[in-house]
């Protein structure tokens, strides 16, 4: 199996050429309704998955299934055409979707959502395929979820199992999510040690993600009337670049917070921490800006991991946008309301 980036990136550039062109979303927003969107799907790059989805689903459910299946097909191709060093890096990147999917299932079980509702929150892309995710979504108990992952030999069982006693005592979801994040990011950064450009690029993006997760945790904690500093410190996720443990603690300390805020001025973290709570989707928009940086990596080194990172996120943007348009057309939302939610590169 080829392991050089020249071959991998040539294949991915072929896939990239099939992404929607600028202006396509405006055309889709102008469609008269869901039936017109379904007709577009039938003649689009998603036609094969759309046909297959209609044998098991109907309407919006079929559209969402087709879009998810197409994204999964793209990630499977990335695995298929890579091995060696590139394969390991792509595996680390795609493992992020396993992390998010397990967290989504944990949230669903915690809140007692039904199986279908939980499955709608996942997006098969990593090593946990659709069959495994379907089985996990059927679990009604978090201990059973952890045991099933352990039976499959999936490492994400380890942090879940370790955090389970505290969850059973406190019944707090945050502890489980933090344990999963700490495990994935800690293990990934360990695997990305070294000065190699490709490892460095992925490491930079993961460290930015860690900073972002810490900033979002800070934002929630700072909104409280009273902060328990020892408890708040427990939510710190190590490994970021800008938010050291000391700076994280300083931002929570009323005596030090202004000075600490000045030290991150001019960064996306500052804009997130200072965003008005009443601005609705402001945090979501800032999230999108962070994701956009990964999508723009496509323009980087043509013989490095840059193309794979950029393509993956551009493909993700497209699938998310098409799902938003499908739902909007299904529920009869105005084009402007849908447009506001779309992700842009």
The angle at the Cα of 67, spanning 66 to 71, to the nearest 5 degrees, equals: 115
- Supply angle C-alpha 298, 282, 330, rounded to 5: 80
Question: For position 2, what pLDDT does the model report?
Answer: 46
So what's the pLDDT on residue 281?
60
Judge whether residue 225 has pLDDT over 90. no
Query: Cα angle at 186 between 123 and 142, to 5 degrees?
Result: 50
Q: Of 274, 308, 329, which closes a domain?
A: 274
Whether residues 139 and 179 fall in one domain:
yes
Q: Domain for residue 63, yes or no?
A: yes
Give the CATH number, domain containing residue 106.
1.20.1690
Q: Which of 247, 274, 301 is the last residue of a domain?
A: 274
Q: What is the DSSP string of 92-124?
A: HHHHHHHHHHHHHHHHHHHTT--HHHHHTT---
User: Residue 145: pLDDT band by 50, 70, 90 thresholds?
Assistant: very high
**238's tokens:** 């190590």
C-beta separation of 235 from 174 below 8 A: yes
For the chain, percent of residues with pLDDT exceeding 70? 97
Q: Are residues 162 and 246 located together in one domain of the fold? A: no
Do the domain assignments include residue 295? yes
pLDDT value for 22: 83
pLDDT at 1: 42
Radius of gyration in angstroms for the set of CA atoms belonging to the chain, rounded to a whole number: 21
Query: pLDDT confidence of 10, banded at 50, 70, 90?
Result: very high
Task: Give the Cα separation of 141 and 341 in Å (integer).
Answer: 34
pLDDT at residue number 89: 96
- Distance from the first to the final alpha carbon of the chain: 32
Average pLDDT of the chain? 92
Q: How many domains does the chain have?
A: 3
Structural domain containing residue 129: 96-191
Q: What are phi and psi of 321, to 5 degrees?
A: -65, -40
Q: How confident is the model at residue 291 (pLDDT cuts 50, 70, 90)?
A: confident
What is the pLDDT averaged over residues 64-92?
96
319 and 261 in one domain?
A: no
Range list of H helices, the chain: 5-16, 24-29, 34-42, 47-53, 59-80, 84-110, 115-119, 130-137, 142-151, 157-170, 173-191, 197-222, 229-233, 245-252, 257-262, 268-274, 282-295, 306-331, 335-341
Whether residue 239 lies inside any domain: the answer is yes
Q: Would 286 be classed as within a structural domain?
A: no
- Residue 335 inside a domain? The answer is yes
* pLDDT of 227 strictly over 80: no
Contact 296, 345 (CB under 8 A): yes
Q: Are 160 and 146 in contact, with CB atoms under 8 Å apart?
A: yes
For the segment 28-60, what is each residue's pLDDT rounded down to a tens digit?
A: 999 999 999 999 999 999 999 999 999 999 999
For tokens 């009604």, what's the residue?
A: 140
Q: Sorting pLDDT into bands at 50, 70 and 90, what band is 282?
A: low
Position 269 scores a pLDDT of 87
Please provide residue 243's backbone torsions phi and psi, each rounded to the nearest 5 degrees.
-100, 90
Residue 272 confidence (pLDDT) above 90 = no
Q: Of 191, 215, 241, which residue is a domain's last?
A: 191
Together in a domain, 150 and 228? no
Nearest to 267 by CA among 245, 249, 246, 293: 293
Q: Answer for the pair 74, 314: CB distance below 8 angstroms, yes or no.
A: no
Residues 101 and 184 in one domain: yes
165 pLDDT more than 50:
yes
What pLDDT does 240 receive?
Answer: 94
């Amino acid at each position: 199996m080829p392991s050089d980036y020249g071959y991998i990136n040539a294949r991915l550039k072929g896939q990239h050429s099939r992404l929607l062109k600028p202006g396509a979303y405006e055309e889709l927003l102008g469609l008269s309704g869901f039936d017109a969107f379904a007709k577009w799907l039938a003649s689009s790059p998603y036609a094969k998955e759309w046909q297959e989805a209609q044998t098991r689903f109907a309407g919006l459910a079929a559209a969402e299934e087709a879009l998810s299946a197409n994204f999964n097909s793209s990630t499977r191709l990335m695995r298929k055409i890579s091995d060696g060093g590139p394969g390991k890096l792509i595996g680390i990147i795609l493992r992020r979707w396993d992390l998010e999917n397990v967290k989504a299932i944990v949230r669903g079980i915690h809140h007692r959502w039904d199986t279908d509702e939980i499955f709608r929150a996942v997006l098969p892309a990593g090593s946990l395929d659709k069959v495994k995710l379907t089985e996990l979504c059927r679990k009604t108990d978090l201990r059973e979820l952890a045991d099933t992952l352990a039976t499959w030999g999936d490492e994400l069982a380890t942090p879940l199992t370790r955090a389970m006693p505290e969850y059973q005592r406190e019944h707090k979801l945050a502890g489980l999510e933090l344990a999963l994040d700490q495990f994935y990011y800690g293990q990934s950064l360990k695997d990305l040690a070294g000065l190699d450009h490709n490892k460095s690029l992925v490491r930079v993006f993961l460290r930015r993600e860690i900073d972002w997760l810490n900033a979002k945790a800070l934002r929630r904690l700072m909104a409280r009337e009273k902060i328990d500093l020892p408890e708040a410190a427990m939510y710190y996720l190590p490994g970021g670049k800008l938010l050291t443990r000391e700076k994280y603690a300083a931002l929570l300390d009323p005596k030090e917070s202004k000075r600490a805020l000045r030290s991150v001025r001019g960064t996306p973290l500052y804009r997130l921490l200072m965003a008005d709570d009443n601005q609705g989707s402001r945090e979501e928009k800032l999230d999108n800006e962070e994701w956009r940086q990964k999508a723009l990596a496509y323009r980087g080194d043509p013989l490095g991991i840059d193309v794979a990172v950029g393509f993956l996120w551009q493909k993700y943007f497209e699938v998310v946008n098409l799902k938003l348009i499908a739902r909007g057309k299904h529920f009869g939302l105005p084009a402007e309301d849908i447009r506001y939610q779309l992700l842009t590169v």
